[in-house]
A and B are shown apart, each in its own frame.
Chain A
Amino acid sequence: MIRMRKAFDVTTLPGFTFIAITAFVLLYAPIVTLVIYSFNGGNSVNLWGGFSLKWYAEAAGNEAVQGAAVRSFIIAVSASGIATTVATMAALGTTRRGKFKGQTAIYIMINQPLMVPEIVTAVALLIFFSSIKIATGYTGLGYLIIAHAAFCVPFAYLPIRARLEGMDLTMETAAADLYATPWQTFRYVTLPILMPGVIAGAMLAFVISLDDVIITEFVKSAGQDTLPTYMLGQLRRALTPEVNAISTALLALTVVILTAFFLITRKRD
Chain B
Amino acid sequence: MSEEHAVVAQNVGKVYGTGAAAFTALGDISIAIRKGEFFTLLGPSGCGKTTLLRCIAGFETPTSGAILLSGRDITGVPPNQRPVNTVFQSYALFPHLTVAENVGFGLKMQGKSKAEIDAAVDRVLGLVKLEPFATRLPAQLSGGQQQRVALARALAPEPEVLLLDEPLSALDLKLRKAMQVELKRLQTETGITFIFVTHDQEEALTMSDRIGVMSAGALLQVGSPHEIYEKPVDRFVADFIGETNFLEGEARADGVEIAPGVVLPVTGHAGPVTLAVRPEQLRIGPPGEGLEAEVAEAVYMGTDTHFTLTLAGGPQVVARVQSRAGPEPRVGDKVGVSIDAAAVQVLAE
Interface residues of A (CB under 8 A from B): 168, 170-171, 173-181, 184, 188-189, 192-193
Smallest distance from the beta carbon of A251 to chain B beta carbons, Å? 34
Chain B residues within an 8 Å CB radius of A168? 90, 92
Partner of B109, one of A170, A171, A180: A180
Chain B residues within an 8 Å CB radius of A193? 94-96
A174 with B92, Cβ < 8 A, contacts A179-B106, A179-B109, A179-B110 known: yes
| Complex alpha-carbon distance, A177 and B92, angstroms | 11
Smallest distance from the beta carbon of B170 to chain A beta carbons, Å? 13
| Complex alpha-carbon distance, A57 and B125, angstroms | 62
Smallest distance from the beta carbon of B153 to chain A beta carbons, Å? 7
Chain B residues with a Cβ closer than 8 Å to the other chain, count: 24
CB pairs A–B below 8 angstroms (8 shown):
A170-B88, A171-B92, A175-B94, A177-B57, A177-B85, A179-B109, A180-B80, A188-B108
Partner of B80, one of A181, A188, A192: A181
Smallest distance from the beta carbon of B110 to chain A beta carbons, Å? 5
Check: B236 CB closer than 8 A to any chain A CB: no
Check: B215 CB closer than 8 A to any chain A CB: no
Q: Is A177 within 8 A of B94, CB to CB?
A: no
Check: B46 CB closer than 8 A to any chain A CB: no
Q: Is A177 within 8 A of B86, CB to CB?
A: yes
- What residue of chain B has the Cβ atom nearest to residue A185's Cβ? B80
Chain A residues within an 8 Å CB radius of B94? 171, 174-175, 189, 193
- What residue of chain A has the Cβ atom nearest to residue B94's Cβ? A189
Hey, what's the 0/1 contact readout for B99-115 against A, CB within 8 Å counting as 1? 00000011011100000
A179 with B92, Cβ < 8 A, contacts A173-B59, A184-B109 known: no
Check: B225 CB closer than 8 A to any chain A CB: no
Smallest distance from the beta carbon of A51 to chain B beta carbons, Å? 49
Smallest distance from the beta carbon of A80 to chain B beta carbons, Å? 24
Check: B223 CB closer than 8 A to any chain A CB: no
Chain B residues within an 8 Å CB radius of A176? 58-59, 78-80
Q: Is A178 within 8 A of B85, CB to CB?
A: yes
Chain B residues within an 8 Å CB radius of A181? 80, 109
Check: B249 CB closer than 8 A to any chain A CB: no
Check: B157 CB closer than 8 A to any chain A CB: yes
Q: Is A177 within 8 A of B96, CB to CB?
A: no
Smallest distance from the beta carbon of A267 to chain B beta carbons, Å? 12
Chain B residues within an 8 Å CB radius of A171? 92, 94
The 9 closest A-B pairs by CB, nearest first: A178-B106, A174-B92, A170-B92, A179-B109, A176-B79, A180-B109, A192-B96, A177-B86, A176-B80
Q: Is A177 within 8 A of B90, CB to CB?
A: no
* Chain A CB within 10 Å, residue with most, of B109, B153, B157: B109
| Complex alpha-carbon distance, A181 and B153, angstroms | 17
Q: Is B90 within 8 A of A178, CB to CB?
A: no
Q: Is A178 within 8 A of B105, CB to CB?
A: yes
Chain A residues within an 8 Å CB radius of B90? 168, 170
Partner of A177, one of B79, B95, B108, B110: B79
| Complex alpha-carbon distance, A180 and B79, angstroms | 9
Chain A residues within an 8 Å CB radius of B59? 173, 176-177
Beyond A174-B92, A193-B96, 16 extra complex contacts between A and B, CB < 8 Å:
A168-B90, A171-B92, A173-B59, A173-B88, A175-B94, A175-B105, A177-B154, A178-B85, A178-B157, A179-B80, A179-B81, A180-B80, A180-B105, A181-B80, A193-B94, A193-B95
Partner of B88, one of A174, A180, A184, A188: A174
Q: Is A178 within 8 A of B96, CB to CB?
A: no
| Complex alpha-carbon distance, A170 and B91, angstroms | 9
| Complex alpha-carbon distance, A176 and B90, angstroms | 16
| Complex alpha-carbon distance, A168 and B57, angstroms | 18
Smallest distance from the beta carbon of B57 to chain A beta carbons, Å? 6
- What residue of chain A has the Cβ atom nearest to residue B104's Cβ? A178
Chain B residues within an 8 Å CB radius of A179? 80-81, 106, 109-110, 157
* Chain B CB within 10 Å, residue with most, of A176, A181, A193: A176
| Complex alpha-carbon distance, A168 and B110, angstroms | 24
- What residue of chain B has the Cβ atom nearest to residue A194's Cβ? B96
Hey, what's the 0/1 contact readout for B68-91 against A, CB within 8 Å counting as 1? 000000000011110011101010
Chain A residues within an 8 Å CB radius of B81? 179
Query: In chain B between 14 and 61, which residues have their CB closer than 8 angstroms to a CB of chain A?
Result: 57-59
| Complex alpha-carbon distance, A192 and B90, angstroms | 20
- What residue of chain B has the Cβ atom nearest to residue A173's Cβ? B59
- What residue of chain B has the Cβ atom nearest to residue A189's Cβ? B94
- What residue of chain B has the Cβ atom nearest to residue A178's Cβ? B106
| Complex alpha-carbon distance, A184 and B59, angstroms | 17
Smallest distance from the beta carbon of B150 to chain A beta carbons, Å? 9
Chain A residues within an 8 Å CB radius of B96? 192-193
Chain A residues within an 8 Å CB radius of B79? 173, 176-177
| Complex alpha-carbon distance, A69 and B86, angstroms | 55
| Complex alpha-carbon distance, A184 and B105, angstroms | 11
Smallest distance from the beta carbon of A40 to chain B beta carbons, Å? 50
Smallest distance from the beta carbon of A95 to chain B beta carbons, Å? 17
* Chain B CB within 10 Å, residue with most, of A170, A179, A193: A179
| Complex alpha-carbon distance, A189 and B106, angstroms | 12
| Complex alpha-carbon distance, A181 and B109, angstroms | 8
